[in-house]
Chains A and B, each alone.
Chain A
Amino acid sequence: MARLTTTILMATALVATAACSKKRPEVLPPAPGDTAPPPAQTGPVDPNGGIAPGSAADFKRSAQSDTVHFGTDMYDIDATARAILDSQVDWLQRYPNVTITIEGHCDERGTREYNLALGDRRANAAKNYLAARGIAPSRISVISYGKERPVALGSDEASWAENRRAVTVVVNGA
């Protein structure tokens, strides 16, 4: 989706600036999607909806999720996480040149340095699972953010559960 939006935005911008290349238009261009020019004007329709096969966007669309979650102070891969990682394996096997980084994260209820180590455990648990399913370990790097980069900001069970996670990020798309 990201690439498609960019294409439309650029097309819109081109139309808007064509009449007056230097001055800022007095009326802002319409929001993308409202009166976007027909795709035919920007070239043939991309059968993938603008998402390049093997790209990060393709990964996010194809895998069940890029994120697996963990119990409090745990780093085991449960059934839900296995299904998600299996879907990541399917995609990674289609694009053998893709490399990934797995980010390990923790909730805020651990001390800073311990959480750096725990995040490393979680990222490695996900890495080991992918490797056991046939993804070459050399394609997978890990990084721990400890409790430095939460996605949920509350101090409650639901937020903590969201933050205890390992996120697969495509580094070099196919």
Chain B
Amino acid sequence: MRLTFLIAALLATVSPAWAQEPPPAPPAAPAGATPPPLEVDVTGGISAPMPIAIPPMPTTQVVQTPAGSTDQLGRQLSEIVANDLRNSGLFTPVSPAQLRAIAFPEVTAPTFDYWGGTGAQALVQGYIRANGDGTLTVGCYLYDVSARTELTRQGFVVPPSDWRRAAHKCADMVYTRLTGEGPYFDSRVVYVSETGPKANRIKRLAIMDQDGANHRFLTAGSSIVLTPRFAPNQQSIVYMSYVGKNPAIYVYDIGSGRQRLVVQNVATTFAPRFSPDGRWILFSMAQAGNTDIYRVAATGGTPQRLTTSPGIDTGGSYSPDGSKIVFESDRSGGQQLYVMNADGSNQQRISFGSGRYATPVWSPRGDLIAFTKIAGPFRIGIMSPSGAGEKLLTNAWQDEGPTWSPNGRVLMFFRQGQGNAGKADLWSVDLTGVNERRVPTPLDGSDPAWGPLRP
């Protein structure tokens, strides 16, 4: 109980977005308990991530599976859970040296005295079992060490090929129970893998788990590919390709590897995004030097024009309920952010700060819009959909193209290095501006798009 409250308080103090709404109600504190004081500190970030112990998960019986032996998998599962929680910036896993092997019966009967001695406030135990039908069962249990109580438990049955997902789901269970935030670890990222000299970069679509595992290239690199986005059902990806020297948007089917042109080529089409219900694709079309935003049925058909300004209108992103679109336009001179209704009506400028604003992305929670701020360097920032409360989160030479985690709490983006040798890498940052991390990729990376939580 106390654990949950502590983390919820921490989140509330560092999250400006929550200033508008009450933080999720913490479980009622026992009578007489004194809650820690709330202190508003948006610059200092999270002072003390919660210590948490995640010992290797024992197996009921060592069995060889296509993913490896179950005792080995048990160790790796606990490492993946620890890695997810550490990367969130809200937890400090107890060092492996302080972990001890636990026997299977101990999973549901923890030795709280031992774990208390490691400094851990929370404890995650679990087990792995190979089932007769070839699937794996992973059990995941969360304990409050000082209260000596179980907080929650879940079991996951997965095919061996999805064994890592069981760990991510376990980490999501722990994260949501202790923070009150939505889950995000069991999710994937599609992005553009980059290699080669700066004048002739080879770009390939690639897909991976949010932690960089299960990496796979989707295109061969013979044509430039840019700006992929997941369909809401995650079965396809919309992106831009220069194949045939005819830059246009395509839908790539992940299962079959087939792709199709979305709009028969009238002119250059780019900046594609799915609507939240998957029925529409928003895109930009450049014609005779003028760029406007259109939408077309995801299955194809005649595009419908949504903007008509004589400037460059591009980079649209739907609100989570699909009723509005945030986009960028240079109709006032430089790039600024605007919000319009999904049918193109009622276009209102929302950004008024110094510099330019680009690549707006609506948070899946609906409460914030992330963007690239251009004032010499590129920085990642957030503001409310009304344009209030602008806050810049990063400060490097060129940080571009934010994408939200499924729970709207973390942003991934790409960071371009300077000069001849400058390369692009994927990074993530908490929406409070702390916990900046590089996302591991086999080659360089740009244009990340974070997919929704996996079904």
Interface stretch, picked from A15-23, A60-68, A149-157, is A149-157
Interface contact B315-A124, CB-CB below 8 Å: no
Q: How far is the CA of A67 from the CA of B247 in the complex (A)?
A: 21
Interface contact A114-B420, CB-CB below 8 Å: no
Q: How far is the CA of A148 from the CA of B312 in the complex (A)?
A: 19
Which residues of the partner chain A approach B201 to less than 8 Å between Cβ atoms?
148
Chain A nearest CB, measured from B380 CB (Å): 12
Interface contact B420-A154, CB-CB below 8 Å: yes
Q: How far is the CA of A148 from the CA of B270 in the complex (A)?
A: 14
- How extensive is the interface on chain A, given as a class? 20 to 34
Q: Cβ of B121 < 8 Å from any Cβ of A? A: no
Interface contact B419-A154, CB-CB below 8 Å: yes
* Interface mask (B415-451 → A, CB under 8 Å = 1, otherwise 0): 0101110100000000000000000000000110000
Q: How far is the CA of A62 from the CA of B416 in the complex (A)?
A: 39
* Interface mask (A109-143 → B, CB under 8 Å = 1, otherwise 0): 11111101110110111001000000000000001
Q: Cβ of A75 < 8 Å from any Cβ of B? A: yes
Q: How far is the CA of A149 from the CA of B226 in the complex (A)?
A: 13
- How extensive is the interface on chain B, given as a class? 35 or more
Which partner residue on chain B sits nearest A103 by CB separation?
Answer: B245
A153 and B199 in contact (CB under 8 A), knowing A113-B227, A114-B358, A124-B288? yes
Q: Cβ of A144 < 8 Å from any Cβ of B? A: yes
Interface contact B291-A120, CB-CB below 8 Å: yes
The 8 Å CB contact of A116, one of B197, B268, B334, B447, is: B268
Q: How far is the CA of A110 from the CA of B330 in the complex (A)?
A: 12
Q: How far is the CA of A75 from the CA of B312 in the complex (A)?
A: 13
Interface contact A117-B359, CB-CB below 8 Å: no
Q: How far is the CA of A155 from the CA of B422 in the complex (A)?
A: 9
Q: Cβ of B372 < 8 Å from any Cβ of A? A: yes
Which residues of the partner chain A approach B245 to less than 8 Å between Cβ atoms?
143
Q: How far is the CA of A121 from the CA of B200 in the complex (A)?
A: 22
B387-413 contacts to A, CB under 8 A, are: 397-398, 400-401
Which partner residue on chain A sits nearest B422 by CB separation?
Answer: A155
Interface contact A117-B419, CB-CB below 8 Å: no
Q: How far is the CA of A151 from the CA of B199 in the complex (A)?
A: 6
Which residues of the partner chain B approach A155 to less than 8 Å between Cβ atoms?
397, 418-419, 422
Which residues of the partner chain A approach B197 to less than 8 Å between Cβ atoms?
153
Which partner residue on chain A sits nearest B397 by CB separation?
Answer: A155
Chain B nearest CB, measured from A19 CB (Å): 39
A67-98 contacts to B, CB under 8 A, are: 73, 75
Which partner residue on chain B sits nearest A73 by CB separation?
Answer: B334
Which of A117, A125, A150, A153 has the most B CB atoms < 10 Å from its CB?
A117
Q: Cβ of B335 < 8 Å from any Cβ of A? A: yes
Q: How far is the CA of A135 from the CA of B38 in the complex (A)?
A: 71
Binding site for B on A (CB under 8 A): 73, 75, 108-114, 116-118, 120-121, 123-125, 128, 143-145, 148-151, 153-155
Binding site for A on B (CB under 8 A): 197-201, 224, 226-227, 245, 247, 268, 270-271, 284, 286, 288-291, 312, 314-315, 328, 330, 334-335, 358-359, 372, 374, 378, 397-398, 400-401, 416, 418-420, 422, 446-447
Q: List 14 A-B contacts (CB under 8 A).
A: A108-B398, A111-B335, A113-B227, A113-B271, A117-B284, A120-B268, A120-B289, A143-B247, A150-B199, A153-B197, A154-B419, A154-B420, A155-B397, A155-B418
